């Protein structure tokens, strides 16, 4: 039977560069890996954790820093202007 995966990642083995471990994301949300530690224990291995990190980063929405910072700078500019006006007003 052919099982379709939502996504797959390939991780080259450090001990054997010609060998590649494949992490697959199953349609039910489960991650599986082809390395021995995972096949033996069925616990998330370092490859699965790396794949999960990559997925989370891709899904994190990017927030424009300019949009967040703009109101703060505006209020600082106004308060600085107010201080200057008060100083000038006191002098005159």
The residues that touch Zn ion, with contacts defined as CB under 5 A, are 21, 33, 35, 38, 45, 47
Question: Considering beta carbons, is residue 25 or 45 the nearer one to Zn ion?
Answer: 45
Alpha helices by DSSP H, listed for the chain, are 36-41, 46-59, 65-91
* Residue in 63, 64, 46 with CA at minimum distance from that of residue 54: 46
CA separation for the pair 12, 50 (Å, rounded): 13
For Zn ion, which is the closer residue by CB, 12 or 79?
12
| Whether 26 contacts 48, CB under 8 Å | no
Residue 56 or 64 having the CB closest to Zn ion: 56
Residue 48: CB minimum distance to Zn ion, A: 6
Least distance from Zn ion to the Cβ atom of residue 4, Å: 20
**Could you tell me the smallest distance in angstroms from the CB atom of residue 75 to Zn ion?**
51
């Amino acid at each position: 039977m052919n099982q379709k995966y939502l996504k797959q990642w390939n991780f080259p083995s450090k001990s054997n560069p010609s060998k590649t471990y494949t992490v697959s994301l199953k349609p039910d949300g489960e991650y599986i890996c082809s390395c021995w530690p995972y096949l033996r224990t069925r616990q998330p291995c370092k490859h699965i954790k790396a794949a999960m990190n990559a997925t989370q980063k891709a899904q994190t929405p990017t927030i424009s820093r300019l949009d967040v910072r703009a109101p703060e700078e505006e209020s600082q500019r106004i308060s600085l202007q107010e201080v200057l006006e008060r100083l000038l007003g006191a002098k005159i």
